[in-house]
Structure 1
Amino acid sequence: MADAAQTTRAWRVVLEHIERDLLDGRLGPGDRLPSERDLAADLGVGRSSVREALRVLEVMGLIRTATGSGPQSGAIVIATPSGGLAALLRLQVAAQGFALGDVVRTRLVLEDSVVTDLASGTRDTSAAHRLLDAMDADGLTTAEFLALDAQLHLALAEAGGNTVIAAMMAGLRTSIESYVLAGSAAIDDWDAMATRLRSEHRALIAAIDEGAADAARDLVHDHITGYYTAAGLTFAHRPH
């Protein structure tokens, strides 16, 4: 037990060191992290602890790692922390994950609120429209398509103007994207599913643009639960 606790403390030391450098601007997108060996030596921890911290940072979407010895190997910063709550949720997802049913139900609550607020008030869906167009590009891999899908839902949350909801959606993004991607393997005809998702997205954005809040709520609910059902992941009942 003591060894496990020491290991946990060690990788958190590495994590906090790198996050501090990111927050203070000493590291930024495009910068390469020191090698595992150098980080272990500088911080006085084992290389296994460094690897665990890097794994968490990668799941949080802050770095990308590549093996090998070429110029693109090692860990490269691809984003900076986007706020305390979002970072906290990403850390929770990275460290132990959330139950899939809980993620789906939380998405339903959050995105119901997002589309209602957008359709009922001043709407700026320009970022969502750009993402809709990006998702129409030829040659997208399933992972690329679903990454844009996740960004679309986040863009709507950010457009809604509720910073807490936007932070929660940003924090849950990694969990949402990973489950959705995992579920895609169970879908026999991915091209047909992608066509269906594009159509559902456009109908949802159209309802928001038209100020049809009730229709937008129904569309986002059916969109979220429909995909999870088609992928054989779960079924979330409509909240009453």
Structure 2
Amino acid sequence: MSHDDEQPARAWRLVLETIEADLLQGRLGPGDRLPSERELASSLGVGRSSVREALRVLEVLGLIRTGSGSGPTSGAIITATPRGALSSVLRLQVAARAFPFDDVVEARLMLESAVVERLAADPDRELDDVWDLLRAMDAPDLSREEFLALDQQMHGALAEATGNAVVAATMAGLRTSVEAYVLDGAARIPDWEGAAAGLRREHRAILDAVEAGDGAGARQLVRDHIAGYWARVGMSPSR
């Protein structure tokens, strides 16, 4: 590769590193607008094509949103909800086999076990959203896909209930990263109605243990619930 070939790659990375530094040092934050492509190119001494490439990467990662034209919605704006970035990175890493499936499942077991244990110990926990989702899962005419979407939301709501944004974002990323495996596994279950009834019972048992303040019980139940699903569909992690 020639020196000239390396320059564009270095240039767009320079743009990324500059924006990253501004975020880390508080010069930029959610809702702030980035300088225009022309201003970034001029201040950093790079071509506008390099700026556009860096902005495309940031948008794919969910860190910015861009609008065309002029006015308050134009240009690139730092998003207020960077959780999508983490979900995207984890999903892509799993798809590229950079993170083994077993590691993702084990990470979810560890994290979600800690979530229910913490909620069980918190007398001020608010679980109304979780119970609402469980009741929604009782609808008799749900398809597998609809049921599993509600299931995903329910587990996400548990993480949200901790009040810890990093835990909630990580949980969302872990669940999103194995979504295709979950759907594929569900399609292999011959008695879906029976399986769904079992999942409902397990969900309620977990919530009942949390509400009773039984952290150890909730922890074991959630581990059995997650590991049991993968065993049922023939995709048990190797450890």
Does the alignment reach a TM-score above 0.5?
A: yes
Give the equivalent residue in structure 1 for 2:136: 134
1:118·1:160 contact (CA, 8 Å) conserved in 2?
A: yes
Q: Residue 101 of structure 1: CA displacement? A: 0.7
Q: Residue 185 of structure 1: CA displacement? A: 1.8
Aligned CA RMSD, in angstroms, stands at 3.9
Q: Residue 81 of structure 1: CA displacement? A: 6.5
Q: Residue 165 of structure 1: CA displacement? A: 1.1
2:117·2:219 contact (CA, 8 Å) conserved in 1?
A: yes
Provide the rounded CA distance (Å) in 2 between the counterparts of 1:211 and 1:88. Answer: 34
- SS of the aligned residue for 2:139 comes to coil
Q: TM-score, normalised by structure 1?
A: 0.65
Q: Residue 103 of structure 1: CA displacement? A: 1.3
Deviations 1:22-70 (CA, angstroms, capped at 9, x unpaired): x7599xxxxxxxxxxxxxxxx979xxx9xx98xx68xx8xxxxxxxxxx
Structure 1 pair 116–141 and aligned structure 2 pair: CA distance change class (3 A) = same
Q: Does 1:200 align with 2:202?
A: yes
Provide the rounded CA distance (Å) in 2 between the counterparts of 1:81 and 1:103. Answer: 26
Give the equivalent residue in structure 2 for 1:103: 104
Q: Residue 204 of structure 1: CA displacement? A: 0.5
1:111·1:220 contact (CA, 8 Å) conserved in 2?
A: yes
Number of aligned residue pairs: 193
Provide the rounded CA distance (Å) in 1 between the counterparts of 2:118 and 2:206. Answer: 13
Give the equivalent residue in structure 2 for 1:93: 90
Q: Residue 141 of structure 1: CA displacement? A: 1.1
Deviations 1:171-227 (CA, angstroms, capped at 9, x unpaired): 223113222112112211111111100010011001101111111011000000000
Counterpart amino acid of 2:169? A
Q: Residue 95 of structure 1: CA displacement? A: 3.0
Give the equivalent residue in structure 2 for 1:170: 172
Give the equivalent residue in structure 2 for 1:72: none
Provide the rounded CA distance (Å) in 2 between the counterparts of 1:232 and 1:204. Answer: 23
1:100·1:179 contact (CA, 8 Å) conserved in 2?
A: no
Provide the rounded CA distance (Å) in 1 between the counterparts of 2:170 and 2:193. Answer: 30
Q: What percent of counterpart residues are identical?
A: 46
Matches within 5 A, 1:56-95: 82-83=81-82, 86-95=83-92
Q: Which runs of 5+ in 2 are unaligned?
A: 16-29, 34-47, 63-78
1:105·1:236 contact (CA, 8 Å) conserved in 2?
A: no
Return the index of the structure with the highest Cα Rg.
2
Runs of 4 or more consecutive aligned structure 1 residues displaced over 4 Å after TM superposition: 23-26
Deviations 1:106-125 (CA, angstroms, capped at 9, x unpaired): 11110111000001112211
Provide the rounded CA distance (Å) in 2 between the counterparts of 1:130 and 1:25. Answer: 35
Provide the rounded CA distance (Å) in 2 between the counterparts of 1:200 and 1:207. Answer: 11
2:230·2:237 contact (CA, 8 Å) conserved in 1?
A: yes
Give the equivalent residue in structure 1 for 2:71: none
Question: 149, 152, 156: which is aligned to 1:147?
Answer: 149
- SS of the aligned residue for 1:183 comes to helix
Once structures 1 and 2 are overlaid, which stretch shifts more, 175-184 or 109-118? 175-184
Q: Residue 163 of structure 1: CA displacement? A: 2.4
Provide the rounded CA distance (Å) in 1 between the counterparts of 2:106 and 2:172. Answer: 16
Q: TM-score, normalised by structure 2?
A: 0.65
Q: Which runs of 5+ in 1 are unaligned?
A: 14-22, 27-42, 61-79
Counterpart amino acid of 2:108? R
Once structures 1 and 2 are overlaid, which stretch shifts more, 220-229 or 166-175? 166-175
Provide the rounded CA distance (Å) in 1 between the counterparts of 2:211 and 2:134. Answer: 14
